[in-house]
């Protein structure tokens, strides 16, 4: 289980997140949606402590960390919680000097100190899962954006994190390449991978997520099943946001 309790985040006088509490069950997929600047990416980054909350608490599995203004958590505390998560970034962020399989192996070798043969077997297994085993020895510069993102997903899954965090995983891709990534994430969702994703892509959210959280101005405006949020939102702010989107959304979840 992942539990966020009363999360606040301030950047100076800018109050980005305001008293956010969410409980996310294991095996579920949660989509964070909302306008740019609404707080969804900041909230995602707070879960794995790329951004340190100003106050509140985060509980992932056996790891729990509370935050108070003026106290910076220790590195050991941060790493204990961060190692429960895997992160997929908007712009892939593959290591350009490593092949696809090298990218997936890197964390297993340098952080977890796995032997090379074990790390290679794990990396090949995950590249197969995301449909990239045939490109194991390819350099990132030779791969399409969709292929790079699939390698990035494999890399994030390598240490078997409790939750996979995806920050706008399709926004840097054209629709055809984005579909490759949507299909991979859909397959992971069907297999029971716990995921939290910040996204503007309502097609992705509607196909993959079990639960949608709509954020605006740093607060949770409304949450519920994708069909309810996208087809019959209760709050006026949510209605305006959904109406403003021109994306054709499929609700066949």
Residue 56 in domain: yes
Summarised one tens digit per residue, pLDDT across range 225-245 is 999 999 999 999 999 998 887
- 116-129 and 145-157 helices cross at what angle (nearest 10)? 130
Average pLDDT over residues 34-62: 94
Residue 251 in domain: yes
For residue 251, pLDDT beyond 70:
no
Residue ranges making up the domain that contains 69: 1-84+202-253
Asked if 57 and 46 count as a contact pair (C-beta separation under 8 A), the reply is: no
Question: For residue 101, what pLDDT is reported?
Answer: 98
- The residue whose two tokens read 């350099």 is 139
Question: For residue 253, what pLDDT is reported?
Answer: 40
Residue 5 in domain: yes
For residue 165, the SS3 value is: strand
Half-sphere exposure of residue 197: CA atoms within 13 angstroms, side-chain side:
34
pLDDT band at 96 (very low <50, low <70, confident <90, very high): very high
Question: For residue 1, what pLDDT is reported?
Answer: 78
Q: Looking at the 3D structure of the chain, how many domains does it have?
A: 1
Asked if 93 and 136 count as a contact pair (C-beta separation under 8 A), the reply is: no
Torsion angles phi and psi, residue 91, rounded to 5: -110, 35
CATH number of the CATH domain containing 3: 3.40.50.300
For residue 9, the SS3 value is: strand
- The chain-wide mean pLDDT, for the chain, equals 92
Nearest CA to 124 out of 135, 139, 109 is that of 135
Asked if 184 and 131 count as a contact pair (C-beta separation under 8 A), the reply is: yes
Residue 249 in domain: yes
Question: For residue 172, what pLDDT is reported?
Answer: 83
Residue 237 in domain: yes
- The residue whose two tokens read 């109406």 is 243
Of all residues in the chain, the percent with pLDDT exceeding 70 is: 97
Residue 91 in domain: no
Residue 206 in domain: yes
For residue 248, pLDDT beyond 70:
no
Residue 205 burial (10 A CB sphere; 0-12, 13-18, 19+): buried
Q: From CA 109, how far away is CA 118, in angstroms rounded?
A: 9
Q: From CA 30, how far away is CA 103, in angstroms rounded?
A: 27
List of residues 6+ apart from 106 with CB closer than 8 A: 95, 98, 155
List of residues 6+ apart from 183 with CB closer than 8 A: none
* Helix extents (H) in the chain: 40-47, 75-82, 100-110, 116-129, 145-157, 175-190, 202-208, 226-231, 236-244
Average pLDDT over residues 85-107: 94
Residue 180 in domain: no
The model carries a pTM of 0.91
């Amino acid at each position: 289980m992942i539990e966020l309790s009363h999360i606040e985040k301030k950047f100076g006088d800018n109050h980005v997140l305001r008293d956010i509490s969410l409980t996310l069950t294991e095996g579920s997929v949660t989509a964070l949606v909302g306008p740019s600047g609404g707080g969804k990416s900041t909230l995602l980054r707070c879960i794995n402590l790329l951004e340190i909350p100003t106050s509140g608490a985060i509980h992932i599995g056996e790891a729990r960390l509370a935050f108070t203004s003026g106290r910076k958590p220790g590195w050991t505390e941060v790493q204990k919680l961060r190692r429960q998560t895997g992160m997929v970034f908007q712009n892939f962020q593959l290591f350009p000097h490593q092949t696809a399989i090298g990218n997936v192996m890197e964390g297993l070798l340098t952080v977890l100190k796995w032997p090379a043969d074990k790390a290679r077997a794990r990396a090949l297994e995950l590249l197969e899962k995301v449909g990239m085993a045939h490109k194991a020895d390819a350099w990132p510069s030779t791969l399409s954006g969709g292929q790079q993102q699939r390698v990035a997903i494999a890399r994030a899954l390598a240490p078997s994190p409790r939750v996979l965090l995806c920050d706008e995983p399709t926004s840097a891709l054209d629709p055809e390449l984005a579909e490759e990534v949507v299909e991979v994430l859909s397959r992971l969702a069907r297999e029971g991978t716990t995921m939290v994703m910040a996204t503007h892509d309502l097609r992705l959210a509607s196909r993959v997520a079990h639960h949608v959280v709509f954020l605006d101005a740093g607060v949770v405006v409304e949450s519920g099943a994708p069909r309810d949020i996208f087809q019959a939102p209760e709050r006026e702010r949510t209605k305006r946001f959904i109406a403003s989107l021109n994306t054709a959304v499929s609700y066949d979840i």
